[in-house]
Amino acid sequence: MSINYETEQKRLENFKPEDASLFWKPGAGQHKVKALTELEEADPYEDKPQAKVRLLIGKEEKIWTFAIGKSPASCYGQLVQLASRNNNILKDKEFTVVVVFDGSKNSYTIVA
């Protein structure tokens, strides 16, 4: 499918610098966060289903987007398990995201 350049030009003209900073890509380390929303479906990435959650990190609100994984060890799987253990509620839950970089990719562990 071809890109509609006129539509894309209008979208790009409406870009605000703060829009780019809404998304969170956690680096290696431990990040204490608080879920501000429940998990929601996000736009697919390369035809792969995605989920998102709005987080409070320090004093900043960010959106964390990730694949809807098939494994309980995926970010998605771990957050579903966390919500399941919390009466099926993720909103307002505080947790730590531990990110380990092995030299080629990150692995994520969610600690309640």
More confident residue, 13 or 56: 56
The distance of Cα 102 from the centroid of its chain, to the nearest Å, equals 20
**Domain presence at residue 6:** no
State how many domains the chain has: 1
Beta strand 106-111 with 48-57 is unpaired
7, 8, 29, 49 from 81: Cα distances, Å: 40, 39, 22, 19
Instruction: Specify if 17 maps to a domain.
Output: no
What local confidence, expressed as pLDDT, does residue 20 receive? 57
Rg (CA), the chain: 16
pLDDT of 17 higher than 70: no
Structural domain contains residue 106: yes
Nearest-10 Cα torsion for 108, 61, 25, 77: 30
Q: At 66, which CATH number?
A: 2.40.50
Average the pLDDT over 32-55 and give the result: 95
10 in a structural domain: no
Mean pLDDT for all residues in the chain? 92
Q: Give the structural domain span for 94.
A: 26-111
Asked whether 49 and 55 are in contact (CB, 8 A), the reply is: no
Structure-block tokens of residue 98: 């531990």
Predicted local distance difference test score (pLDDT) of residue 16 = 67
Residue 19 confidence (pLDDT): 57
Three-state SS at 6: helix
